[in-house]
């Protein structure tokens, strides 16, 4: 997955920041999907690699993310931004594994109190 993320970064379109980012995920059916960042002149509308990763998940059969890795074009580990953490959590669930500088952690650990469609059950709030 890490190598696939670094490879995806080579396809990035990043003329403004120069930061080529790739993301790769293992899906619950065994597929490996990947995505890269796509910048544009308005910058705020740039697509993060995790966004194109989410699109690839949906385009190639759906399902859920099981584990995710994000890398630069040089293979350096990168952390998803808050928006992307939310997106990954919605498509992978709180138990989805994420490669982080602190080792493998769940999305629930890196995005506590994430937005949800419904409030947590009382026993989950404790």
Instruction: Taking residues 8-19, report their average pLDDT.
Output: 97
- In the chain, count H helices and then E strands: 5, 5
> Is the alpha carbon torsion for 106, 110, 113, 118 positive or negative?
negative
CATH assignment of the domain containing 117: 3.40.140.10
- Classify residue 32 by burial, with Cβ atoms within 10 Å: 0-12, 13-18, 19+: middle
Specify the number of domains making up the chain.
1
Q: What is the pLDDT of residues 14-38, one digit of tens each?
A: 999 999 999 999 999 999 999 999 9
Active site residue 90: no
In this prediction, residue 40 carries a pLDDT of: 95
| Residue ranges making up the domain that contains 64 | 2-125
Q: Among 51, 41, 34, 43, which Cα is nearest to 88's?
A: 51
- Per annotation, catalytic residue among 7, 50, 90, 123: 50
Q: What is the pLDDT of residues 42-88, one digit of tens each?
A: 988 999 999 999 999 999 999 999 999 999 999 999 999 999 999 99
Cβ neighbours of 111 (radius 10 Å)? 18
Q: Among 35, 57, 61, which Cα is nearest to 47's?
A: 35
């Amino acid at each position: 997955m890490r190598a696939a993320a670094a490879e995806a970064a080579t396809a990035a379109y990043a003329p403004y920041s120069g930061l080529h980012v790739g993301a790769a995920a293992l899906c619950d059916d065994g597929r490996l999907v990947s995505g890269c960042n796509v910048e544009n002149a308005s910058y705020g509308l740039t697509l993060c690699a995790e966004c194109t990763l989410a699109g690839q998940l949906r385009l190639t059969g759906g399902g859920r993310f099981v584990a995710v890795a994000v890398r630069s074009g040089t293979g350096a580990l990168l952390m998803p931004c808050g928006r992307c953490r939310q997106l990954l959590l919605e498509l992978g669930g709180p138990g989805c594994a994420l490669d982080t500088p602190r080792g493998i952690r769940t999305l629930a650990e890196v995005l506590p109190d994430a937005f949800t469609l419904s409030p947590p059950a009382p026993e989950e709030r404790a």
